[in-house]
Chain A
Amino acid sequence: MLGLGARRWEDDMTRLLGFLYHQEVLDEQFMQLQQLQDASSPNFVMEVISIYFRESEKLLKNLRALLADRECADYSKIGVHLNHLMGSSSSIGARRVRAVCAALRAASEHCNWAGCLRSLALLEHEYCYLKNKLHELFQVP
């Protein structure tokens, strides 16, 4: 019984993971993370993505704050945060998030406030989606 349930769950997870790869929500880098998880670090992936979520929440909050006011939008700071977010997203293989970050970066480089807001909205959406899916996968609190 337990075994069956566990296997079904595993199957579901595998399916979900496959789905995420297919949708390019995740890419090869995430696979590498999975490979790094072994006996010596059994919860490696979970730890990494926990750190990622924690950091990213902060960054997203900062970004939202920086873009709150059209006049005072500090695009260079936005760029700095974005670099950070892009780096960490790419490190865990969050491909779509990273792609939207690139779009947001482009908008910020052009000091396009409206564009930035749009991209930020999209970024937040992608991020939430990723987070939900990964939570599902890893039961990350």
Chain B
Amino acid sequence: MGRDEESGDQFPIGMRVLAVDDDLTCLKVLESLLLRCQYHVTTTNEAETALNMLRENRDKFDLVISDVHMPRIDGFKLLELVGLEMDLPVIMLSGNGETKAVMKGITHGACDYLLKPVRIEELRNIWQHVVRRKRFDQKNRKNIDNDVDDHEKTQRASIEGMQGGGTSGTSDCSGKVNRKRKEQNDEDDDDGEENDNECEDPSTQKKPRVVWSAELHRKFVAAVNQLGIDKAVPKRILDLMNVEKLTRENVASHLQKYRLYLKRLSAVASQQANMAAALGGRDPSFLHMRSFDGYGNFLGLNPFQTSGVSSIPNSNLLGLPGFSPGMVQISRNQNNSSNSMNDLSKFQQIAFPSNQHGSLLQGIPTSLEFDQMQQKQKLRNESNNHLPGVYSGAPSNSFISTTNSSLFMQDHQQQPQQNRGSGSHSLDNLPDLSRLNETWQTVSSLSGYIDNTASSNVGGNVTSTIMQMNNSTMDIPTDNGLLTGRDSLIGRQTLMPSFGIDDDPRYLNFRNSGSLKQKLEDPKQHSALEPLTPFNSSLNSSMPNQTVQTLLNTVADRQRLHNMTNQATINSTSLTRHKTDKSVINSHIVYNEGNTSVAPKMQGGFGSNACNLDELMNAMTKTERDEIGFADGEMGSDFFSLSTCM
């Protein structure tokens, strides 16, 4: 063909494009753009015409660009037909850029998918699809029907061997190449159809191109079905088809294409199923979330349901670096938590903590929440959406933070990246919390809410933990710095007028509920922790890290909250201090984790966890002595960061 010389030399100049679009405006613009790219353009606004043109002489065109939405014939259908029959690269064009649509195009074999309005820059590159296809074609041809070279015979023998060796053999080698091509282009045509116009392959002896007309293809499919797709061997297909001038190579390459086409169909089906499953899994939660007032921020937050949700980096959380990570960690949908953080003022969010608490702690055998966990599981199942609420609530409320801490702990469990050894993480969060500029109203409202939820297993346990901690300070031997810290915490709490006033009654409630809970959970806790009932039950030595986290968070939160009112600059200062203190805390934590001997010192319920907590408290206490707001901020941030790492 004359085209060979011209286009071969100047390719992509002169590349022959067939443009199909029922929209005359777009067609005109497209034509002009293609002409500007120095392609040779044929246009039609009817798919039927296009097909006829192509069938008439497939060699007339190098590339087809087709709109997706056409009235008389679906663009995808055209795409498939062109790919199957003519093995030309087809580019889809559409005004709809949704992923679904693009996916559909790709799975139907489009080698590219362009969005309207088409830009000339995009059109300048479309020739690559032609080249790519040709190159693969060459490779395939060399592999399969290369009977032109001097190695002709050997190759043929090898090819025959390959082909005769069964379809598997054929698919293996050329299939792979085909697959590559398919990924990029439409189905490949390995038989003699493709002209190596641009190829350097010295296969001068081109086989007459076989046009797989609809009729021919029909026969082919019939033969394949008759033989059974697995048993369909080119030779036998050829025999069944009984078409003159059709070589086995033609059939072989067409068979490969056909196989890939089928595979793609099934892949699409399963893909759609997967997508449906994924989207479906997500949707309910989303809907669920939206159903809650103020949960709007949690859109897309479905930590539990969507496995695909990736943990969101801390940075996502707005303004709550320290806190956010932890929160984020807990639920995959950390982003949401950041949103929720912003909406802390929303009361509804408070509801979440309890629910989330339950769900979060799922995996954590420890903590007083053992039966809570079961309840939480239920809660979780019921309302995954609540999770975000926890996050939102936590920062402003120590109780909530307790929940969060539990969550964190859970998160730690769930996520392999445990920074047990490095307690610094746990502290990281604290400062952020302190940084949270939660209004006291928010805090109190949250506290109030938590108070209300105290009755529920989840909420109650959480708060009770806190209360326990408070209570335990009394019980804890004074030599334990942690105790001191706790005392100070408690003291701090009372110091905070806005917070304290509202919370005291709640605290009482929590205490009550908490203690009850504690007892319930005791049996489940490690025995080592018994002395301090409240803590014992809550802290399960088996989950040192998480428990510690919880406690630390709780304590830290509380301290932080206290400090928030006291010190406006806590955030900044605590952060810095927190950093320095991290190492202290880390060491404590590290020490505590593996060290059961510490247990006796622990206030009791924690066991190894308690140790950690105590150590942490000690550290915090020390810092507190130095600077009041220090420990809180530090711890908080640490906690959070720890959970973040988790």
Q: Are B25 and A48 in contact (CB under 8 A)?
A: yes
Contact of A48 among B29, B36, B71 (CB under 8 A): B29
Docked complex: B18-62 residues within 8 A CB-CB of A = 22-26, 28-30, 32-33, 35-36
Instruction: Give Cα A51 to B22, complex, Å.
Output: 13
How many residue pairs at the A-B interface have CB separations less than 8 Å? 61
Tell whether B263 is near chain A: CB-to-CB under 8 Å.
no
What are the residues of chain B within 8 A of A40 when measuring CB–CB? 35
Docked complex: A31-63 residues within 8 A CB-CB of B = 32-33, 36, 40-41, 44, 47-48, 51-52, 55
Contact of A55 among B24, B69, B118 (CB under 8 A): B24
What are the residues of chain B within 8 A of A52 when measuring CB–CB? 25
Q: Whole-angstrom distance from the CB of B26 to the nearest CB of chain A?
A: 5
Q: Which of A12-20, A81-89, A127-135 contacts B (4 or more CB under 8 A)?
A: A81-89
Q: Are B96 and A36 in contact (CB under 8 A)?
A: no
- Nearest B-chain residue to A37, judged by Cβ: B32
Per-position binary interface string of chain B over residues 80-123, scored 1 when its CB falls under 8 Å from any chain A CB and 0 otherwise: 00000000000000111000000000000000000011111000
- Nearest B-chain residue to A40, judged by Cβ: B35
What are the residues of chain B within 8 A of A47 when measuring CB–CB? 28
Q: Are A91 and B96 in contact (CB under 8 A)?
A: no
Q: Tell whether A91 pairs with B69 under 8 Å between CB atoms, given A52-B25, A83-B95.
A: no
Q: Are B25 and A88 in contact (CB under 8 A)?
A: yes
Q: Are B23 and A84 in contact (CB under 8 A)?
A: yes
What are the residues of chain B within 8 A of A80 when measuring CB–CB? 69, 71
What are the residues of chain A within 8 A of B71 when measuring CB–CB? 80
What are the residues of chain B within 8 A of A29 when measuring CB–CB? 117, 119
What are the residues of chain A within 8 A of B33 when measuring CB–CB? 32, 36
Q: Are A51 and B96 in contact (CB under 8 A)?
A: no
Contact of B25 among A36, A41, A44, A91 (CB under 8 A): A91
Q: Tell whether A90 pairs with B117 under 8 Å between CB atoms, given A84-B23, A84-B69.
A: yes
Instruction: Give Cα A33 to B28, complex, Å.
Output: 11
Q: Are B28 and A48 in contact (CB under 8 A)?
A: yes
Instruction: Give Cα A93 to B116, complex, Å.
Output: 10
Q: Are A92 and B29 in contact (CB under 8 A)?
A: yes
Q: Are A36 and B32 in contact (CB under 8 A)?
A: yes
What are the residues of chain A within 8 A of B22 when measuring CB–CB? 84
Q: Is the interface of A mostly helix, strand, loop or mixed?
A: helix
Q: Tell whether A87 pairs with B28 under 8 Å between CB atoms, given A29-B117, A32-B119, A55-B23.
A: no
- Nearest B-chain residue to A88, judged by Cβ: B25
What are the residues of chain A within 8 A of B29 when measuring CB–CB? 33, 36, 48, 91-92
Q: Whole-angstrom distance from the CB of A43 to the nearest CB of chain B?
A: 12
Q: Are B117 and A55 in contact (CB under 8 A)?
A: no
Instruction: Give Cα A32 to B122, complex, Å.
Output: 13
Q: Tell whether A32 pairs with B28 under 8 Å between CB atoms, given A83-B69, A83-B96, A90-B95.
A: no
Contact of B117 among A41, A44, A84, A93 (CB under 8 A): A93
Instruction: Give Cα A90 to B115, complex, Å.
Output: 10
Q: Are A88 and B23 in contact (CB under 8 A)?
A: yes
Q: Whole-angstrom distance from the CB of B598 to the nearest CB of chain A?
A: 62
Instruction: Give Cα A56 to B631, complex, Å.
Output: 69
Q: Are B116 and A87 in contact (CB under 8 A)?
A: yes
What are the residues of chain B within 8 A of A41 when measuring CB–CB? 32
Instruction: Give Cα A42 to B560, complex, Å.
Output: 73
Q: Are B116 and A90 in contact (CB under 8 A)?
A: yes
Q: Tell whether A51 pairs with B28 under 8 Å between CB atoms, given A29-B117, A84-B69, A91-B118.
A: yes
Instruction: Give Cα A74 to B95, complex, Å.
Output: 21
Q: Are B120 and A51 in contact (CB under 8 A)?
A: no
Contact of B26 among A32, A44, A88 (CB under 8 A): A88
Q: Whole-angstrom distance from the CB of B301 to the nearest CB of chain A?
A: 24
Instruction: Give Cα A119 to B155, complex, Å.
Output: 66
Contact of B36 among A36, A87, A88, A91 (CB under 8 A): A36
What are the residues of chain B within 8 A of A84 when measuring CB–CB? 22-23, 69
Instruction: Give Cα A20 to B268, complex, Å.
Output: 45
Instruction: Give Cα A58 to B35, complex, Å.
Output: 28
Closest 10 CB pairs of A and B: A88-B25, A87-B95, A90-B117, A52-B25, A91-B26, A29-B117, A91-B117, A91-B29, A87-B116, A36-B32
- Some 26 contacts from A to B, beta carbons below 8 A apart, are A29-B117, A32-B120, A33-B29, A36-B29, A36-B36, A48-B28, A51-B24, A51-B25, A51-B28, A55-B24, A84-B23, A86-B95, A87-B67, A87-B69, A87-B94, A87-B116, A88-B23, A88-B24, A88-B26, A90-B116, A90-B117, A91-B25, A91-B30, A91-B116, A91-B118, A93-B117
B interface residues, Cβ below 8 angstroms from A: 22-26, 28-30, 32-33, 35-36, 67, 69, 71, 94-96, 116-120
Please name 11 further chain A to chain B contacts, defined as beta carbons within 8 Å, in addition to the given A51-B25, A83-B69, A87-B67, sorted by A numbering: A29-B119, A32-B120, A36-B32, A36-B33, A83-B95, A84-B23, A88-B25, A91-B26, A91-B118, A92-B29, A93-B117
